[in-house]
Amino acid sequence: MVVGSGGKTVVGVSAADGSGEKMPKAMKIGELAQRAEVSCRTLRYYEELGLLTPHGHSQGGARLYCEQDLARVLRIRRLQSLMQLDLDEIASVLAAEDRMEALREEYRHGEPSRERRIEMLHEVIDLTSWLLSQVDSRLAGLAEFRGELSGRLDHYHERL
């Protein structure tokens, strides 16, 4: 038996909480690294920074990951390449996204009062607005750089 986070078993065995929920097939760190096209060292570093948490551990203590963990690593890599965010900034984005997911789960599976639903929606709006401001900031920088290049190109055409 392999125990995952939340007391659930990881490798195709019913959850320990009796829910009957099946956990996804577990991957060891090497398989996750290969599928995400990163090194095992990178995954350990992400874990050290709190960006990634193994889904569980084998009885021998080996880290075990699932498809959600792979998706998270791919998200980190996309934020690095697309938005040029550093790992501290990525941690903030992931924290906001994690919080929004927790609020969605509470909304879907709980029975929040009308007041709580309104609070939750305000929080999601604030988080989404903050994320949008991060994107807008990057876009403004790109627009400025594009303007510089466009000006240079116009200048070079005039010189011709």
Q: Alpha-carbon Rg of the chain, whole angstroms?
A: 21
pLDDT of amino acid 13? 33
Whether 9 and 2 have beta carbons less than 8 Å apart is answered as: yes
- Alpha carbons within 13 angstroms on the beta-carbon side of residue 148 total 5
Residue with the bigger pLDDT between 16 and 36: it is 36
Query: Angle CA(44)–CA(78)–CA(126) in degrees, nearest 5?
Result: 100
The pLDDT tens digits for 79-134 are 999 999 999 999 999 999 999 999 999 999 988 999 999 999 999 999 999 999 99
- Strands laid side by side in the 56-57 sheet: 3-4, 56-57, 63-65, 27-28
pLDDT of amino acid 27? 94
